[in-house]
Structures are given as C-alpha cells and as structure tokens.
C-alpha cells in the first residue's frame, strides 16, 4: 500500500462513526451483563479501526454510516469532524447539536501496584487514571443539546442529554438511575475488575436537563453537574493532566438532580442558586433537600474571575448529619499567554466523625498555565487536601494531608485530535500513629504516575 492511498489522519475514523457503533454496542453490552460482548464482523472492524494507527488504513477500509461520503467534514479537521455531515442536517433544522469525544489513556506507576479488584491500582491518588500499566477507554462521551436562543432578549427553551461509556462511568453514576437504592448496579455489572470489584466498563447518564432562559436569567431542571469547584470533567485545551484532584473526588459534587438558576445582575456579576436531592442522587435517600448558592464576578476585560459557591444539606441516609461545603476560585490571566488559578475548598459534617464529633476537611489548589503556541499548552498544579478526621479519602489508613503535584500539557494535532501527557507525584503526610499506606495496595506513603491520553472530538 502506498502513502498516496492513505487518507490523512482520518484513519482514526471520524468519531461520528462511533455513533453507529454505539447503536449496536449498548444493547449488546447491556444484554450480556457487562461481559465481553460479541459483535458481528462489521462492528468489530469498526471498533478496531477506531483504535489503530492512521498509517495502516485506506479510505475504502472504513465502514460507512448513513451512506454518507468519507470526506465529509470541515477543512482543517482530522477527517472525523461531524459538522456538515448527513447526521446533523436534520438536527440543525431543529436547533439541535450533537457532539462528544473519546478519551483513551495508558498510565504507569513507579510503585507497580496491583489493579482492582485485588488491589487499588493508582487509587486513591490518580482518579480518572486509576489503573496501572493498562489501556483505559476512559470515556466515550456523546452529547445532544439545544442552546436557548436569547439573542434578542426573548425566552427560549433548550436542554442537554449526555451519555458516557467507559471506565469513568463508576464515578458518574447516580442512585436510582444507573444504580439501585442500595448502591448496587442496575445498568452495569457488579462483578468485574473495576473499583471495589464492579464492572470495568459501563454506561452512565451524567446529564439530562431542560433549560429555560432569556438574556438575563437561565433556569435548569433535571440532572446536571453541580457548579461547585473549578476542575471537573475538564477537556479544555488549558487543562493540566488527566487524573483529576482530591477535591473533585472527595469533597465536591458531580451529578445532582434538581433545579438551578443563574441570574445575570450586570455584565460582570452573576448569582447562582438551586436545590437538589443530594450528591449522586437521582432518587432521594433521606427525603432532605440540599440548597446551593454562589456568585461569579468577571472583570470587564475578562482577564480576572472570582467565584464563590457553597452547598448545604444532609447526605447520610438518616438525614441527621448536615454537611456544608464551599469553594472559592480566583483566576487571573496575564501577559497574553499566562493564567494563574487558585482554588480553596472547605467543608464540615455534623457528627461526621462519629461519637458526636464533627468531621472537617480543607484543600488548596494552585495552578499556572502557559500557552506556548496555538496548538500547545502546558502547566503545573499543586494540591494540598487535609482530611482532618480521615473521613473523606478512601482507601486511607487514617487522617492526614494529601499532596499532589501534576505537570502536563495539551498538544492539538488539529482541532479535534489532542494529545495530553501528565506526570504526577502524590504523597501522604499522615497524622501521628497512622499506619502504613495508602499507596501500592496500602504499603507506601507516595507514588509517581505517568499518564498519556488521546482525545478525539466529533
């Protein structure tokens, strides 16, 4: 095969073709109870083509979807851009947009821990990248959305539905939706090599909401990401690394079910408020409602951001132990290419430590990033997370302070194909009398993890 026969980079196969694969993969995966599913030859070829190098494929090898032509897509994209293709022409007429991305990674740990279910892998430090020396399909993330048209100040209706498939599903499930009320899996398997022995791969529906808005007020109702914090499922080009933070996994909220409103007081000030059923709850576990509120201020030149968000409510099944969590974020862009971000979280839980004692936790995150070129961004992040009473981070030998330094970057080969490496060092400063661990299956105080991710966008 000559190089002239190779269709450029497109041989990673436009992610829009993954929509076709998912149509077969999801029912097969569900029907076969999270075991390795069997597919017909065309599906297997499609999946393999998504993962192999672009240097070994020809355009005629690619399966078609909707009968459209291979070259469909915007100029400058790596052959799998969704825009302008037959799939979305009908959606555009309805004001709908379909998008998404795929993240794949491989990670290696200096301590060489045992992966779940018999060990803890890179956990509890490297959240999304918790498996050692193993390929991970972290997430295939598909989004169907409609943004309200508020261009002339009128009211309009929109919304969004997200579907995720991959190893990250276990962090984004909600009680009563993907799982039963007792936490056992409903959509996915309870037996496998994932954390705590559940299925390695699975499905999650992290967002499904409607939005009503005009040019000053936006209201959401349904299932959505809580606005607390700064680093969440960050796939922006300015993200530092792939692994996430202790604050994200052990202090803040991810999907919640309820309602929220953003009110734009001025061009620079927005206030937020809402109610929800508790962290990771589709159905309530205690009949108590959480409330949250916040304030965003952005400078006139948009170089400075100050944000405060807080949430209060009982998360325990009995509904007896009130919890308060706040997050303060400051971002400053300077000298055209630099950005500095400071985040501090604080929280406490009444009787959270048992025996009538409250539990508290704190974190401080410092990040600085630099835009080298239009295609290359890099940065470094340090986080200090003090689990004062040893009630937040697990598995852990006891109370202490968790530290992580991460350095990483994003290189955009083209707008929809990104490479993201990360180097991360974690260490645990245990309180006096605390036993060994938590890293390397509970035997070491520190670990070093190197990670490499590939992102492909629709």
Tens of pLDDT, residues 398-439: 999 999 999 999 999 998 899 999 999 999 999 999 999 999
Kindly state the percentage of the chain with pLDDT values over 70. 79
Q: Can you tell me the mean pLDDT for 231-241?
A: 71
Q: How confident is the model at residue 96 (pLDDT cuts 50, 70, 90)?
A: confident
Q: Which residue has the higher pLDDT, 255 or 51?
A: 255
Q: How confident is the model at residue 51 (pLDDT cuts 50, 70, 90)?
A: very low
Q: Can you tell me the mean pLDDT for 86-104?
A: 78
Q: Is the pLDDT of residue 271 over 70?
A: yes
What does 266-286 look like in DSSP terms, one character per residue? SSSEEEEEEEES-TTBSS-SS
Q: How confident is the model at residue 101 (pLDDT cuts 50, 70, 90)?
A: very high
What integer pLDDT is reported at residue 138 of this predicted model?
95
Find out whether 314 and 289 touch, Cβ atoms under 8 Å: no
The model carries a pTM of 0.82
97-109 and 322-334: which strand pairing?
A: unpaired
| Separation between Cα atoms, residue 422 and residue 133, nearest integer Å | 14
Within 155-278, residue ranges assigned H as helices are 246-250
Q: Specify the DSSP element, H or E, that contains 254.
A: none
Q: Can you tell me the mean pLDDT for 63-88?
A: 48
Beta strands per DSSP E along 110-155? 134-146
Q: Is the pLDDT of residue 133 over 80?
A: yes
Kindly state the percentage of the chain with pLDDT values over 90. 66
CA 134 to chain centre: 19
pLDDT tens, 160-183? 999 999 999 999 999 999 999 888
DSSP 3-state of 357: strand
Q: Is the pLDDT of residue 64 over 70?
A: no
Q: How confident is the model at residue 23 (pLDDT cuts 50, 70, 90)?
A: very low
Q: What's the mean pLDDT when you consider all of the chain?
A: 84
What integer pLDDT is reported at residue 229 of this predicted model?
86
Q: How confident is the model at residue 74 (pLDDT cuts 50, 70, 90)?
A: very low
Q: How confident is the model at residue 92 (pLDDT cuts 50, 70, 90)?
A: confident
For the record, the structure tokens of 237 come out as 């080009």
- Domains defined along the chain, listed by start: 1-92 (no CATH), 95-457 (2.40.160.10)
Q: Is the pLDDT of residue 72 over 70?
A: no
What does 18-80 look like in DSSP terms, one character per residue? HHHHHHHHHHHHHHTTTS-----HHHHHHHHHHHS-GGG--GGGSPPSTT--TT-S-TTS-S-
């Amino acid at each position: 095969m000559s190089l002239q026969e190779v269709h450029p980079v497109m041989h990673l196969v436009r992610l829009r073709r993954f929509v076709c694969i998912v149509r077969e993969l999801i029912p097969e995966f569900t029907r076969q109870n999270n075991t390795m599913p069997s597919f017909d030859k065309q599906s297997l070829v499609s999946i393999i083509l998504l993962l192999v190098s672009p240097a070994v494929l020809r355009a005629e090898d690619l399966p078609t979807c909707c009968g459209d032509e291979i070259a469909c897509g915007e100029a400058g994209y790596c052959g799998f851009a969704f825009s302008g293709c037959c799939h979305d022409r009908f959606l555009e007429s309805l004001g709908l947009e379909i998008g998404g991305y795929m993240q794949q990674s491989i990670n290696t740990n200096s301590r060489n821990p045992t992966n779940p279910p018999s060990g803890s892998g890179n956990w509890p430090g490297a959240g999304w990248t918790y498996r050692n020396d193993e390929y991970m399909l972290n997430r295939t993330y598909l989004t169907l959305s409609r943004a309200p048209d508020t261009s002339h100040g009128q009211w309009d209706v929109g919304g969004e539905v997200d579907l995720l498939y991959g190893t990250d599903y276990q962090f984004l499930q909600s009680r009563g939706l993907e799982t039963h009320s007792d936490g056992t899996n409903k959509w996915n398997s309870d037996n496998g090599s994932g954390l705590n022995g559940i299925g390695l791969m699975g499905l999650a529906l992290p967002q499904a909401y409607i939005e009503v808005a005009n040019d000053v007020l936006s209201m959401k109702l349904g299932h959505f990401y809580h606005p607390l914090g700064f680093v969440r499922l960050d796939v922006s080009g300015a993200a530092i690394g792939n692994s996430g933070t202790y604050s994200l996994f052990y202090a803040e909220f991810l999907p919640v079910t309820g309602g929220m409103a953003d009110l734009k007081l001025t061009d620079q000030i927005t206030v937020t408020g809402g109610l929800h059923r508790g962290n990771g709850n589709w159905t309530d576990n205690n009949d108590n409602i959480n409330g949250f509120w916040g304030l965003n201020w952005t400078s006139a030149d948009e170089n400075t951001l100050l944000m405060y968000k807080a949430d209060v409510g009982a998360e325990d099944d009995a509904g007896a132990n009130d919890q308060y969590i706040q997050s303060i974020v400051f971002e400053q862009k300077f000298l055209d290419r630099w950005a500095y971000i400071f985040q501090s979280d604080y929280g406490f839980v009444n009787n959270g430590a048992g025996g009538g004692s409250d539990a508290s936790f704190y974190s401080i995150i410092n990040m600085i990033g630099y835009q080298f070129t239009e295609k290359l961004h890099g940065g470094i992040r340090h986080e200090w997370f003090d689990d004062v009473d040893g009630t937040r981070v697990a598995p852990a030998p006891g109370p202490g302070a968790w530290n992580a330094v991460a350095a990483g970057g994003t290189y955009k080969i083209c707008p929809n194909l990104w490479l993201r490496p990360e180097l991360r060092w974690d260490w645990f400063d245990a309180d006096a009398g605390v036993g060994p661990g938590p890293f390397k299956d509970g035997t070491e105080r520190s670990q070093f993890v190197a990670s490499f991710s590939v992102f492909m966008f629709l």
